[in-house]
Amino acid sequence: MNLQEQKEFFLTIQSTLEKAASIEEANPREAAELYLQISRKILDKTQVMTTDEKKKFMKIAESVLDKRDNIIKLSKERNERSNENLMVKNNRPHPDLNNTDMEGSSQFIKDLHPTIYETTFKDIAGLDEVKDTIIRQVIKARERPDLAIKYGITGRNILLFGPPGTGKTSIAQAISNEISFPMVTVTPSYILDNKFGAFEKNIRSLFEDALRYAPIIIFFDEFEALAPRRTSINSSYMKRGVPEMLRQMTDLRKKNDGRVILIGATNNPWDLDEAILNPDRFDTRIFIPPPDVKSRSQIFKIFLRELSKDENIDYGELGKISEGFSAADIKYVCRTAAEYAFSNAIDSGMESPITSENIKLALKSSHPSITEDQMKKYFVFMEKYVKKV
């Protein structure tokens, strides 16, 4: 934005802020809505800003959202106080207690602590094809919303699948960083509930809140536990929950203007319900492979970067002798090697940097978590469900 544009933008925000402040007492609900609109306007504008401008405006947006949170909190406290009186009078919930418009807005999402992560693609070794696909299909669409709309690229739901510890979560975090969308992680333990109707209700609340809160990334970890094959389900709450998940994903597709991004992650994509894999639900399915030899060398470098180590470590060799090790395995190996070196330092009373020998010993004492049989299963799955790009 040039200076003139910045000035005009500031003035518009300021006058709406003043209006919101003036009605806070008399009409807190409307004031909260105005604050929400302002923060959205600011966040939308950040799409066309330089990094420095973006930082400045994100701060302003955050402080506006704080104002809104504060009003909601006060109004909730006030409601609770008056509700207590109503309860006493009637000895059962007054109909007004069902009016949860205000506190219900985005609360589900907020409880999951939306975060813009600091992880970047530079922190993730290798996976060049994966990064390229994501940049073309997701990030560019945010950078050029004008073009994306013309080509109908408004919503992207991404399924990341692959062996454990290969970077699925890190990639989701890096997407959040690249496009400055806050992200929430939804785990099965958070959303599953076997009380009658509770799981479906949680799914509905999540999707409704996502649209209210947008821009947002919903990251479903262990997605196969949330949307397993219906033919393999025994529990009744799951039998109702999976269709609800399918319904909500279809519904979101219609309402989404590109500001809600769903990312599902799974180690076992073959356990997912077939309907989830419909391109209308997850239009981008990306295999996150185990690191190749070059990436493994880089991953060793990354995990040893901050530690006291021998300058002559041959990272090329470490990459070669760690076939089948995931990034998470390598992280564990480096930690073990560091423990060996630390013990040596304690025993000898002298600083003892981590050596190649420490690392090789640590490699020998641990097992690679990725097997050939496992890889075959992924290839079979891909034959059926992933088109070549």
Q: Which residues bind ligand ATP (CB under 6 A)?
A: 124-127, 164-170, 267, 291, 295, 299, 302, 327-328, 331
Residue 140 DSSP SS3: helix
Q: How many residues does the chain have?
A: 389
The nearest distance, CB 204 to Mg ion, in angstroms, is: 25
64 vs 138 by CB, closer to ligand ATP:
138
Q: Can you tell me the distance from the alpha carbon of 351 to that of 309, in angstroms, rounded to the nearest whole number?
A: 10
Return the DSSP state at 260: E
The DSSP call for residue 139 is I
Q: Look at residue 202 and give the partner it binds from ligand ATP, Mg ion, none, a contact being a CB closer than 5 to 8 Å depending on partner kind.
A: none
CB 328, min distance to ligand ATP, A: 4
213 within 8 A of 109, measured Cβ to Cβ: yes
Select 106 or 169, whichever has its Cβ closest to Mg ion.
Answer: 169
How many CA atoms lie less than 13 Å away from 303 in the CB half-sphere? 22
Q: 3-class SS at 263?
A: strand
Nearer to ligand ATP, 13 or 184 (CB): 184
Three-state DSSP at 194 gives coil
Compute the C-alpha angle 16/18/19, nearest 5°: 65
Minimum distance of Mg ion from residue 20's CB (angstroms): 40
Rounded CA-CA distance 158/163 in Å is 17
103, 76 contact by CB (below 8 A): yes
Q: What's the closest the beta carbon of residue 162 comes to Mg ion, in angstroms? A: 10
> Which CB sits closer to ligand ATP, 166 or 202?
166
Nearer to ligand ATP, 20 or 124 (CB): 124
Kindly list the distances between the CA atom of residue 373 and the CA atoms of 47, 163, 324, 376, 380, in Å, as whole numbers in the listed order. 44, 11, 12, 5, 11
Q: Which candidate, 360, 315, 327, 323, places its Cα nearest to that of 341?
A: 360
Q: Using CB distances below 5 to 8 A depending on partner kind, what does residue 215 bind out of Mg ion, ligand ATP, none?
A: none
264 binds, among ligand ATP, Mg ion, none (CB under 5 to 8 A by kind): none
* Contacting residue, 39, 169, 256, 326, with Mg ion by CB under 5 A: 169
Task: Kindly state the smallest distance separating residue 123's Cβ from ligand ATP, in Å.
Answer: 6
Considering CB under 5 A, how many residues would be counted as binding Mg ion? Answer: 2
166, two tokens: 């290969």
CB of 253 to Mg ion, least distance (A): 25
Question: Looking at beta carbons only, is 28 or 167 nearer to ligand ATP?
Answer: 167
Least distance from ligand ATP to the Cβ atom of residue 185, Å: 10
Contact partner at residue 228 from Mg ion, ligand ATP, none, CB < 5 to 8 Å by partner kind: none
Q: Which stretch binds Mg ion (CB under 5 A): 164-172, 175-183, 245-253, 290-298?
A: 164-172
Single out the residue of 287, 220, 268, 270 nearest to residue 248, CA to CA: 220
Q: Which lies closer to ligand ATP via its Cβ, residue 65 or residue 183? A: 183
Nearer to ligand ATP, 143 or 222 (CB): 222
With CB under 5 A as the contact rule, which of the stretches 98-106, 162-170, 224-232, 307-315 interacts with Mg ion?
Answer: 162-170
CB of 248 to ligand ATP, least distance (A): 23
Strands of 183-186's sheet, edge to edge?
183-186, 216-220, 260-266, 157-161, 284-287
If you ran DSSP here, which 8-state letter would residue 116 be given?
-
Binding-site ranges for Mg ion (CB under 5 A): 168-169
